[in-house]
Amino acid sequence: LDYGRYVGFTELNNYQTSVSNGTYPVVKISPILSQANLTIVTYGGMCHEVLSCIDELFYEHDFKSEIIVLSQINPINVEVILDSVETSRTLVVIEEGNPTGGISSEVIAMVAQQVNHHVRYLKIGALPVPIPAVKSLENQVLPRKERIIDTISQKLS
């Protein structure tokens, strides 16, 4: 999907993958039977980091996640996100970029403008510093599995 990697071709137990039409599709990974109680929107390099979190988010914190992966960030296909949020009522946007004034802010604003019910929102992004070039420091700054799970569980449980 991005970074030369594919989404949805890895077997995820009890999840199904849907792909929208178009040149820049949206990929949705959702529980095959259950209604999700957490919508996670992400894109680019964060996608696999997010996918690595969903088992623990469920087992430890009772979240049934629906992951929406964007391959186009302008214009954003907000309808898919709105559909998901209709049932989950909780939206988390996770990105590698700085969350202040970023894509996550834009996604949340677009959803908030159009929903007719209460939704809990959360954005997770890079720490507010320049992204370090050294890999070990970059890992500290970018959202990684542990920080994603901790933030979601602390803010939304």
Partner 1 sequence: MKILEQIYMPQESVNDEDVVIVKLYFASGDAVKNGDEVLEIESSKRSMTLMSHTDGFVRYHCAEGDRVQIGSLVSEIMDESHTSRTIESVAQSSHEPKNATQTFFSKNAKRLMERKGLSEIEFQGKDFVNEQDVQFFLNANQDKSPQQENDSFTASLKKQVRIEKLSAQKRREIEYLSSVQAHGLNSSLSISINAAPVIHFSHTFLSLFKGSLLPIVMYEVARLLKKYPKLNAFYNNGSIIYYEQINIGLAVDLEDHGLQVLGIEQTDRLSMVKIEEEVLSQIQLYTKNSVKTSNADITFTITDLSNENITTFSPLINKDNGAILGISALDHFRHMNLSLTFDHRITEGKYVARFMAELKKRIENGGNGIGKIKK
- Which residues bind to partner 1, rule: CB under 8 A? 8-11, 13-14, 16-22, 26, 28, 31-35, 37, 58-64, 77, 79-80, 83, 86-87, 116-117
Nearest C-alpha neighbor of 81 from the set 131, 50, 43 = 43
**18 contacts: CB under 8 Å, gap ≥ 6:** 27, 28, 29, 30
Least distance (Å) between residue 10 CB and partner 1: 8
Spatial contact of 72 and 106, defined as CB atoms under 8 Å apart: no
CA-CA distance, 115 to 120, in Å (whole number)? 11
Least distance (Å) between residue 59 CB and partner 1: 5
**Which residue lies nearer to partner 1 by CB, 44 or 58?**
58
**Which residue lies nearer to partner 1 by CB, 91 or 142?**
91
**Which residue lies nearer to partner 1 by CB, 16 or 154?**
16
CA-CA distance, 78 to 75, in Å (whole number)? 9
How deeply is 54 buried, as exposed, middle or buried, from its count of CB atoms within 10 A (0-12, 13-18, 19+)? Answer: buried
**Which residue lies nearer to partner 1 by CB, 7 or 122?**
7
Angle, vertex CA 9, rays to CA 7 and CA 10, nearest 5: 100
**Which residue lies nearer to partner 1 by CB, 118 or 135?**
118
Least distance (Å) between residue 52 CB and partner 1: 16
Least distance (Å) between residue 25 CB and partner 1: 9
Residue 114 φ then ψ, to 5°: -115, -15
Least distance (Å) between residue 78 CB and partner 1: 9
